[in-house]
Amino acid sequence: MVGIVSGLVLLAVGLMLGYRFGRKHSETAGIAMSQDERERVLQMLQELGAWTNEYSGNVSQYQSRLGELSNEVRVDAQSTQSAPKVIALLKQIMDSNEQLQTRLESAERQLDKQTKQIESYLTEARTDALTGLHNRRAFDQKLDETFATFRKGGRSFALALVDIDHFKSFNDTHGHQVGDQVLQQVAKLLQLELDDAIIVARFGGEEFAILMSVPLQIAADKMNKVRKTMASHQIDLGTKPLSVTISVGVSEPRDDLVASPVVRRADEALYAAKNIGRNRVYYHDGKGTCLVGAPEVAKG
């Protein structure tokens, strides 16, 4: 029974930390709970606490009674009254143990169900349903966290904003189902090519956002390689393969007090990439936007 109680406690506390049975959940790792989510988990822990307190109380009661009986036996070794009392108490313990075992097993099943529901809720709250990437909420939280670490003297980072070129034409020409498939394929490629990124997220619509723990120029060069891979990759939709290109804007934190200027500079770089002709990468060095590579390379 102690094993069941211990397992329940570890399960519940593990959920609070973003783990379960020692396995880290990538969907929730490093992302803070909202107040509502925290209250739901705390309620579950309180319910668990009620079960464990009842169990602990019964154990303490039995230990105290057994101690009294042990003293009786030591005081009067010839007593014929102690044995029946011991037998009666042991029977009471066994009966109570069976009842608690049944109730704790029921509680474990209920807790497991609640745990899965909360895990599902936390995952859905931070995941884009269409692409499977982190959503805007998760990205904003991770950006704030990463920026706060930087402000405290931690490692710098780069932010890349990615926009699918002429995405509206995919929806208008081929329908929204094809547009959804394009989004899914672009998301898949970004995940594959940027598997060492801090976070890859769907920023909204046909736009994606990536945080990388590398300097600005390295991040810009890396995103240019991703751009070239995308341009050379055809998306097979079962009918006619489609060619998709992306425009990218990259920035990094400077002497900013908040994270929003980092996003603004990346957005300015992205606007420059799209305004000049798309299918290219621009970065913002804090003074202005700069094209990655020579113009003729950027077109290819």
pLDDT in tens, the chain (300 residues): 444 444 544 444 444 444 343 333 444 444 555 666 667 666 766 666 666 666 666 666 666 766 666 666 666 555 566 566 666 666 666 666 666 677 667 767 776 776 666 666 665 678 999 999 999 999 999 999 999 999 999 999 999 999 999 999 888 888 889 899 999 999 999 999 999 999 999 999 999 999 999 999 999 999 999 999 999 988 877 667 889 999 999 999 999 999 999 999 999 999 999 999 999 999 999 999 999 975 544 454
Q: Determine which one of 206, 207, 252, 296 is catalytic.
A: 206
The closest alpha carbon to 146, from 206, 209, 191, belongs to: 209
Asked about 72 being catalytic, the answer comes back as no
Q: Is residue 183 within 8 Å of 131, Cβ to Cβ?
A: yes
Neighbour-count burial of 91, counting CB atoms closer than 10 A to its CB (0-12 exposed, 13-18 middle, 19+ buried) = exposed
